């Protein structure tokens, strides 16, 4: 069926009492089980439910009923509505109840502090405010700045968690990723850093006496370090410092 039926059980009650349709036809039209329709006819199901005339509410025509009564294999269809009401699309800032409007600066302060990646237009959509109010809160020039407290707009009832997550996700896609490290970059432990520094000083000392100058130091610095020799030198330095 292209359209959903209103009050299917009440409609089935009316069809059982006022038509000669089979239980299977009524069940198919009302999306019920045939045994449930039979229970309605026997008085075991839907006791106290008043029947609803589908012809009066425009969901079924008399011609469709007569056609089904003549052919037990025919399945009735819900009538198309004569008037279609378009869904209202919200434009501009979100409407905020009067009782919650005084809380908007607190929500703006929370969003600016916890989600600086959000644009002003996104904050306007979330809490139903204006750009000038956002700027005043961000720059701490709001007339009530001294009394503002950062509060989650979801907790205040100004927006839903789904809307907030959606706006944050959109802002994250637009913002460049700054947390990514360059390829091959790793953090060294204190022992490894000390070992590399010691090896660097040792290489620079050797380069100063071999007559190679700066070019020699550059070539030696580019050579791959031997980890065993580095740690051996480190241990010897530590031993000398202990003896002293």
Q: State residue 181's pLDDT score.
A: 39
pTM value? 0.37
Rounded to an integer, what distance in angstroms lies between the CA atom of residue 238 and that of residue 195? 11
Which pair of structure tokens corresponds to residue 239?
A: 């031993």
Which pair of structure tokens corresponds to residue 56?
A: 């009066």
Q: pLDDT 10s digit of each residue in the chain, 244 long?
A: 346 777 888 999 999 999 999 999 999 999 889 998 998 988 888 777 888 899 988 889 999 999 999 999 999 988 877 655 554 555 555 565 655 667 889 999 999 999 888 999 999 888 888 899 999 999 999 888 888 898 888 888 888 888 888 888 888 876 554 444 344 445 555 566 666 777 676 666 655 544 444 444 444 444 444 556 656 666 666 555 555 5
H or E element in which residue 165 lies: helix 161-174
Contacts of 106 (CB under 8 A, 6+ apart): 148, 149, 150, 151, 156
Q: State residue 213's pLDDT score.
A: 47
Which residue's entry shows tokens 């790793």? 186
């Amino acid at each position: 069926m292209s359209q959903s039926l209103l009050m299917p059980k009440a409609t089935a009650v009316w069809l059982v009492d006022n038509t000669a349709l089979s239980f299977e036809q009524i069940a198919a039209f009302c999306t019920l089980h045939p045994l449930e329709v039979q229970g309605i006819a026997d008085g075991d199901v839907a006791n106290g439910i008043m029947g609803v005339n589908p012809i009066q509410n425009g969901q079924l025509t008399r011609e469709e009923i007569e056609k089904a009564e003549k052919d037990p294999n025919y399945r009735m269809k819900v009538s198309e509505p004569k008037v279609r009401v378009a869904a209202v699309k919200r434009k501009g800032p979100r409407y905020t109840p009067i009782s919650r409007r005084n809380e908007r600066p607190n929500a703006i302060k929370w969003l600016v502090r916890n989600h600086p990646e959000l644009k002003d237009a996104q904050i306007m959509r979330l809490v139903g405010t204006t750009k000038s109010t956002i700027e005043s809160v961000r720059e701490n020039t709001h007339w009530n700045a001294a009394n503002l407290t950062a509060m989650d707009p979801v907790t205040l009832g100004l927006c839903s968690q789904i809307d907030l997550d959606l706006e944050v996700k959109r802002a994250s896609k637009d913002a460049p990723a700054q947390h990514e490290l360059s390829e091959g970059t790793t953090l060294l432990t204190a022992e490894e850093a000390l070992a590399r520094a010691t090896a660097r000083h040792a290489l620079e000392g050797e380069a100063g006496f071999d007559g190679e100058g700066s070019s020699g130091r550059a070539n030696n610095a580019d050579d791959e370090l031997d980890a065993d020799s580095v740690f051996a030198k480190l241990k010897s330095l530590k031993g000398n410092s202990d003896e002293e």
